[in-house]
Amino acid sequence: RWFTHFYVVSVLWNGFLLIWLFRAEFLGDSLPSWIQHMHLALGRDSQSENIGNEHFSALLVLLLLWLHSCRRLAECLWTSVFSNGDIHIVQYCFGLGYYIAVGSTVLCQVPTNVSSGKELSVQICWYHIVGVMMYIWASLHQHRCLAILANLRKSRSGKVVSLSHSVPSGDWFESVSCPHYFAELLIYVSMAITLGIYNVTWWCVVMYVLFNQALAAILCHEFYQENFSSYPKHRKAFIPLVF
């Protein structure tokens, strides 16, 4: 349940960045000076030219990131059923910092001068379509899997009747123990595609998500195997048929 705090911060912070980037792109406003200083501190040249369609790509990815945070916040508040677990203070602080940093990372993919008062030329490319379609597909499956986990602790009427662990089934659970983690990885991959595939910085974010979610999936997979003797042996931990 502590992850709810992360998504509150993400919705507010990334929503704020999204508004500023939208104003800069379409209304010709300048980004705040502190954002420009952050760009310079991270090594982004304020006079760099627009390469391809990176301005619109960054705006689209920031929108997807904000929508993802909104959905996850709604799921934490109204879908998921949490046990009374605690979170380490270091992990808590890191989580808050991560969702601030990841939005800033998207914003820093465009120069600080952005459109310099010029009207943004929006050109929808094939990778925007592929990325958004993959994002929607992965998000739908993640929501379904989270709903399956929540329903294990609810009665048919929707009332919470237990906080114990059970073996989930249905949707991607038939292939892996933690499909919601796999869907999270796919969501970040979809954003990498939306940015134009060749954005090295965002692929570093994807690699972080890969290792982070893989570790969590392994721990969950081992928990299922140790506590449920009849747990399906064909299920992988994280990636269907692979890992």
The average pLDDT across 161-173 equals: 94
Which tens digits make up the pLDDT trace of 210-233?
999 999 999 999 999 999 999 999
Cβ atoms 6, 95 nearer than 8 A: yes
Q: pTM of the entire structure?
A: 0.91
Q: Any idea where the domains of the chain sit in the sequence?
A: 1-113
Residue-wise pLDDT tens digits, 232-243: 999 999 999 999
Residue 121: what pLDDT? Answer: 61
Dist. CA 109–CA 48, nearest whole Å: 11
Residue 75, pLDDT score: 97
Q: Is residue 23 scored above 50 in pLDDT?
A: yes
**Residue 240, Cα to own-chain centre: how many angstroms?**
20
| pLDDT average, residue stretch 25-54 | 65
What mean pLDDT, rounded, does the chain reach?
Answer: 89
pLDDT tens digits, 73-109:
999 999 999 988 889 999 999 999 999 999 988 988 7
Asked whether the predicted pLDDT for residue 61 surpasses 90, the reply is yes
177 neighbors 220 (Cβ within 8 angstroms): yes
Task: Dump pLDDT digits (tens) for 182-202.
Answer: 999 999 999 999 998 988 999
State how far the alpha carbon of 113 is from the alpha carbons of 24, 27, 48, 199, in Å.
9, 13, 9, 20
117-156 confidence digits (pLDDT tens): 455 567 889 999 999 999 999 999 999 999 999 999 999 8
DSSP notation for 33-74 = HHHHHHHHHTT--TTPPP-TTHHHHHHHHHHHHHHHHHHHHH
**Measured CA distances, 186 to 5, 23, 135, 136 (Å):** 23, 29, 7, 10
